[in-house]
Amino acid sequence: MSRAADPGLHPAVLVEAFASRPCEGNGAAVVLLDRPLEDGEMQALARSLNQSETAFLLPHGGQWLLRWFTPTCEVPLCGHGTLAAVLALGHWGRLAAGQPLTLHSRSGPLWAQLDAAVDGVAQIVLPSSGLIPAGPSPALEVFVQERLQSALEGYWTSPLGYTVGLLPADAALATAVLPSRDLPEADQGGLVLMQPLDPCTGPRVLDMPCRYQLRFLAPGLGIDEDPVTGSAHALVAPWWLERLALERVAGWQCSHRPGGMLCEHASSGMIRLCGSGHLLWDGTLHLDSRACGGESPGQPSPPGAIRAGCGWDGLLA
C-alpha cells in the first residue's frame, strides 16, 4: 500500500545527535507528518520509541512546525531533537545544505541550517534564558558531597526551569555515579553539573578543544540522565564565553553516551550550536491512532489542517 493511500504511514529516522559515530551522543527519533496528530498519539509514539526525545515535524503553509516529546511528557525546548530534525530533513531531501530554515516551536521560531561544507553537520539557534545566582539547598550540597566528594563553587536557577551547579576542575564528574532519584525536588526538573576542562588534555569537537563539560539529570522530565543536551549547553555557554573571554567555545557532555558541540552568541538572548549527527536507522511508522492511544480515533484531519485549540495551534503566532 502506498503512503499516499494510507494516512497511517509516516517516515521516521533515529539520529544520534551531537555524535560523529554510532552509539554515542543523544538519540532522537524524528517523525515526518503530513497532517496534525493529536497529543495523545504523539505521546504514545514517543513512549513506544523510548528515546529521550521524539521530534515531530509538520509542514504547514510553506513553514515547518516542530514539537518534542519525552516518553512521559511534551517539552518546550529540545536542542538535540532540533539538530536531529534538521539532519532528518536533509536526509529526506526536504532541506538543501546551506539553505536557512525556520522551525516554529513552543519556544518561538528557531533558525537552523545544514552545513554547506561538511556532511552530517548542522547549526541551530536556541534561546538562552540566562542564569540567576542562587543558593543550593542543603540537600543538594549533601548529594554533591556524597557523590562527588566535592563542593559546589556556584549555583544558579533559570527561567527554563533548569538549575546549574559549578564544580571544581578536579571533581570526578565524568565517573561519578549520580542517581537522579536522590535529587532534591527543586532540582528534578533539570540539574546541570558543570566544570572547566583543560584544553590540552580534554576531548575535541569538530577539531576544537573543549573548555568545559557537564552532565544533565532530569527525573522530573522522565529522563534519569540525558546523554547530550543542547538546551543545557545553550543555557550555560554564555557564562563560559564570558568567563573565558571567547567568541566560540566547545562544550562536552561526559555521560555514558558522550558528545559535544560548538557554542557562540547569535542574536540577543540566543545561542548558535553547531554539531554533527549519525543516522542510525531509517524507516516508516505504521500508525493506527486507535492502537496508539489517540485522542480522536475517528477520521484523520485533512492534510495541513490544524484544529483551533489543539497543541499545534499557535506555533506560527
CA distance 67 to 81: 9
146 is catalytic: no
* CA torsion through residues 266, 271, 275, 278, sign: negative
CA–CA separation, 233 vs 131, rounded Å?
Answer: 12
Of these residues, 53, 141, 153, 242, which one is catalytic?
53
What residues are annotated to the active site?
53
